[in-house]
Amino acid sequence: MSCRAARRLSEKLGRRGVFLLIIGVGKTSWGVSFLVAPPPAQGLEFLTQFCGLRHWSWLWIVCGLITAASAFLRIGRDGWGFLAALIPPTVWAFAYTVAVISGDYSRGGFVAAWYATSHIGVILWAAWVPEHSVPPAPRPARRGKAI
């Protein structure tokens, strides 16, 4: 029964919707982890000068919820979900880049590159992939007379 429900949900959401749902749940979970047990703010000093990581966690949570909710919208209206998914990793990548430039966190360049590729790049790619971009399966060869 659960497989049938998952298959039905997957068919309803489509590939873009499934992606948004997965990313949205992940971003929300990441934000909740900052609330429950905030990590050291190493490399994020640019952000923590404005407010603590517990406050910044709400950026991840709210954007994650918007992203997950957008999974249930029609294609063309789900753009807000992709935009919301881009905001937190962009802010974090910017903060780590600032930390490298200021000399506070030399490893921040690698973390910023990771956010730029594994998060921002993948989200942008998924936003531009059409729902039905898979080419149709090739037809089997027809039996007949050779010329």
**pLDDT tens-digit series, residues 7-27:** 787 777 888 899 999 999 999
Q: What percent of the chain has pLDDT over 70?
A: 88
Half-sphere exposure of 107 (CA within 13 A, CB side): 3
> Is residue 117 over pLDDT 80?
yes
> Is residue 137 over pLDDT 70?
no
- pLDDT band with cut points at 50, 70 and 90 for residue 147: low
- pLDDT band with cut points at 50, 70 and 90 for residue 145: low
> Is residue 132 over pLDDT 70?
no
Task: State pTM to two decimals.
Answer: 0.82
Return the domain boundaries, the chain. 13-128
Dist. CA 35–CA 61, nearest whole Å: 10
- pLDDT band with cut points at 50, 70 and 90 for residue 76: confident
- Residue 10 tokens read as 């997957």
Q: What percent of the chain has pLDDT over 90?
A: 69
> Is residue 142 over pLDDT 80?
no
- pLDDT band with cut points at 50, 70 and 90 for residue 94: very high
Assign 3-class secondary structure to the chain. Answer: CHHHHHHHHHHHHHHHHHHHHHHHHHHHHHHHHHHHCCCCCCCCHHHHCCCCHHHHHHHHHHHHHHHHHHCCCCCCCCHHHHHHHHHHHHHHHHHHHHHHHHCCCCCHHHHHHHHHHHHHHHHHHHHHCCCCCCCCCCCCCCCCCCC
